Chain A
Amino acid sequence: MYNSRRLALYHYWVAFAVFLPAVMLGVWQMLMRSPLPAPFDDSNHYYASVTLHGTAMAYVITTFFAMGFGYAVTATSLGRPVRGITAAWIGFAICLTGTLMAVAAVLSGKSSVLYTFYPPLLGSVWYYSGATLLIGGSMIWVVLMIVNMAAWKRDNPGKPVPLAMFAITATAVLWAWSASGVELEMVGIVLPRAFGLTTQIDAGLARTLFSVTLHSIVYFWLMPAYIAFYTLVPQAAGGRLYSDTMGRLTFIMFLLFATPVGLHHLFADPEIGVGFKFIQSFLTFLVALPTLLTVFSICASLEIAGRHRGGRGLLGWIPALPWNEPMILAVGLSLVMLGFGGAGGLINMSYDMNSMIHNTAWVPAHFHLIFGGAIVIMYFAIAYEMWPRITGKPLHSKRMARWQLWLWFVGMFVTTIPWHITGLMGQPRRVAIFDYSDPLLAPMAPLVVISVIGGLILLASAILLITVLVRSQVGEGMLQTPLRYALAVNPPVRVPKALNGFALWNAILLMFMVFEYGYPIGQFFVLKSSVPVYEVSQQSSTPGVR
């Protein structure tokens, strides 16, 4: 792991330290929405909690996890120390400072604007500055990933970049494109208003800019899981990767199709024309391609491993897989959740079907199943794989790890299936209080109670995760086996320039962005749609004007 060991460890610890309280907030939010009595029963607390839960899960954990994973992958896949280690620590410090600023601002109750900001709501300037620093600080990581890959290519002319490094650099480039939207929104619109430099806020433009981030950030979260699919899973199964080229194409397609699709989050926004909504809906369907490609090549890789281990017949290779390995168990559970969550996603992204479930509990159900389920369960598996390499100590208990993964899987389904149903019944998301004595709402009550039980199962799983990680770190024993990435069936000897770098794909993506977002963003400079803000921090503090 060379010099990346401590770096990766610190990043992971921040991620997992934030994870447990964020899960607790989530469970409490479900309790709040349910007919059961909840402690701290106050809708203001609910919105503060939703803001904190979202900020922690969507920005803090994922960014720190991806950065830590990136440093570890760079050192292990290139087989040499990470360059720019000082810059990496500076980036870590900036991100941590931003996190603390944002968390403090939300805890003060003055920034309950939810993690998607929702202008013209206006919260504390500390919250926006914190989020901007966290996301801006991670750009140092982006640059370091690109620098490390470029330096390796310079030192190894003509050789293919290892798939893991190629993929993590794709992740970094994708994150740079993705974050550009929210950073522009913050620096150009929200922060100037929060500092009092402007009097109004262009909510339509802010939402459109945020939509650039809103969908591609999901693929930024997802990429570490896919890197594990391609480079760690076949190795853990004792087989080989089906195709190295398919891996490269998958990550290139994610880079291309993840960003110019964000308008499918704005199907109900009146400023955007139907033509652009349709085009981005169309492009969103293309994002399914790399996912289907991945499901195919992971299943093929697992079949290679299963047959190698003695599996026979049409499906005999499945029981032959080493299911007691957390990584293999996680990939199986992850693919099931990916299937259900992905099917729900097809409805969200369809221009017409979206209107049935827009802003209902269906939407959080979808992204909890995809992100909180399919992706996060792979984060756990990555942690179980990486932890022993980082700490130099073996995993405390594979049995506990398997329990943890199963609990997470079951808990996530028990939580999200009722949400899907209540969403179809019309239950809105982001609402604190429901009067279940109302005959219209009464049928939802038992379903919401079931999802509270799911939340408690998830909490148990999260506690188990932290237990395993802590006990592994303080445990005895030494482990010296280095991290190995899966070899392809046909290891690449030489690859074309286009599949060994990102210049061509960045150029195409730039054209996509100009075409897909040029007019929708540009129109706001003519529309003059700025509106006054609604300051959440001043709601109850001014007598007379509440």
Chain B
Amino acid sequence: MTHDQGAFKVDYPWAKIGWISFAVIIVVSSLLGFVVLSRYQQNDASLDIWGAICRGLGITFDSGSTGSPQPALRTPTNVAWTQVTLDQVRAGDPERGAHVALNCIACHEGTTANPAHLIPALDGMDATSIFKQLADYRSGKRLWGVMDAIAKALSIQDSADVAAYFSTRTGQLQANLPERVPQGGRAFRQSDPAARLVFAGDPQRGIAPCSACHGPGGFRLGAPPLTGQYAAYIERQLGSFAQGIRHNDIYEQMRAIARQLTPDEMKALAEFYGKRNSTLVATE
């Protein structure tokens, strides 16, 4: 007895239907996905079948060695924020760091050696930033005459200690405290072009807001807080990034941003961060 159930007969060969449907679905979707789509999707010259299949699998020319010339690999820094690195920074002892810092404060704090304020203030600097810069000087990723020699004399533990020492000091730099919306807001409506760049960036030029990483309000591991830093120092660093003289920024993000800035904007940004300090000092 074949019992009719709507449109479906009991005695259909379900196993055969199932497996044939499976095969058809796999073959059709694979042809479309690996051959048609992968081969013709790009605007430039279409790939051969083998290249298209590789592309469909996710193997592209830059994932293997190819004949085409590749730019030389340049690593901007040897520091990566792995657990090991973070543990090294955390192991810093501020009391020991105070002794190491005796070498630093002559230039970084004294005004006689730093009349033009081209040497950055370190009091209140984030520990990871100091640790990274010392590591970069030591490995030659950042070049600045005397600092290279000083950093080479410091062990990893010394760097962590001195980083911890400066991070615990208060004074010049203001730590980036989380604020919901910092004074002045983040709006594009800012009349001051420097404030607009700091809090809103410039999407049309691909410039992220400075405050997202450098404060106020934002923080990113390894990025120094800038509020209260010397204006002359900031301006010179922006110029160095723009010209590629300084190149120890991971993923080139500072070089990419600084290249987009006009000299006037660099000056205005430097003064914005520098001035925030002076106004605050005045009110205190």
Contacts and interface: CB of A to CB of B under 8 A. Distances in A.
A523 interface: yes
Contacts of A495: 10
Contact of B12 (A496, A515, A545): A496
Contacts of A504: 14-15, 18
Contacts of B66: none
A443 interface: no
Contacts of B188: 438-440
B103 interface: no
A437 interface: yes
A544 B89 contact: yes
Interface string A490-526: 1011111111000011001001100100011001000
A276 B187 contact: no
A282 B36 CA distance: 14
Interface stretch (A9-17, A221-229, A238-246, A405-413): A238-246
Contacts of B22: 508, 511-512
Interface string B77-97: 000111110100110100000
A492 B84 CA distance: 66
B189 A439 contact: yes
A438 B200 contact: yes
B58 A276 contact: yes
A449 interface: no
Interface in B11-68: 11-12, 14-15, 18-19, 22, 25-26, 28-30, 32-34, 37-38, 41, 53, 55-59
Given A279-B30, A438-B200, A245 B19 contact: no
B127 A545 contact: yes
A214 interface: no
A533 B85 CA distance: 12
A275 B53 contact: yes
Interface string B123-154: 00011100000000000000000000000000
B86 to A, nearest CB: 6
A246 B6 contact: yes
Contact of B5 (A244, A286, A511): A244
Interface string A528-546: 0000110000000011111
Contact of B83 (A276, A493, A533): A533
Q: Which of B1, B14, B188 has the most CB of A within 10 A?
A: B14
Contacts of B167: 543-544
A102 B14 CA distance: 44
B10 A490 contact: no
B81 to A, nearest CB: 7
Contacts of A435: 181, 185-187
A242 B6 contact: yes
Contacts of B200: 438
A89 B107 CA distance: 72
Contacts of A515: 26
Given A41-B180, A545-B89, A274 B6 contact: no
Contacts of B14: 496-499, 504
A85 interface: no
Contacts of B127: 544-545
B29 A273 contact: no
B181 to A, nearest CB: 6
A41 to B, nearest CB: 7
B3 interface: yes
Contacts of B242: none
B187 A439 contact: yes
B186 A438 contact: yes
B30 A544 contact: no
Interface residues of B, number: 59
B219 A546 contact: yes
B33 A544 contact: no
Given A511-B22, A532-B83, A544-B127, A490 B6 contact: yes
A282 B186 contact: no
A275 B25 contact: no
A245 B32 contact: no
A131 interface: no
A433 interface: yes
B33 A278 contact: yes
A519 B57 CA distance: 8
A217 interface: no
Given A438-B187, A533-B83, A275 B18 contact: no
A271 interface: yes
Contact of A282 (B29, B92, B128, B189): B29
B90 A544 contact: yes
Given A490-B6, A508-B22, A532-B83, A274 B56 contact: yes
Given A544-B90, A545-B86, A437 B219 contact: no
Contact of B56 (A246, A276, A493, A544): A276
B108 to A, nearest CB: 18
A172 to B, nearest CB: 20
B96 to A, nearest CB: 14
Interface of B: 1, 3-8, 10-12, 14-15, 18-19, 22, 25-26, 28-30, 32-34, 37-38, 41, 53, 55-59, 80-84, 86, 89-90, 92, 126-128, 163-164, 167-168, 178, 180-181, 185-189, 200, 219, 221
Q: Which 4 A-B pairs have the closest CB atoms?
A: A275-B56, A273-B58, A498-B14, A278-B33
Interface of A: 41, 43, 199-200, 242-246, 249, 271-279, 282-283, 286, 433, 435, 437-440, 488-490, 492-499, 504-505, 508, 511-512, 515, 519-520, 523, 532-533, 542-546
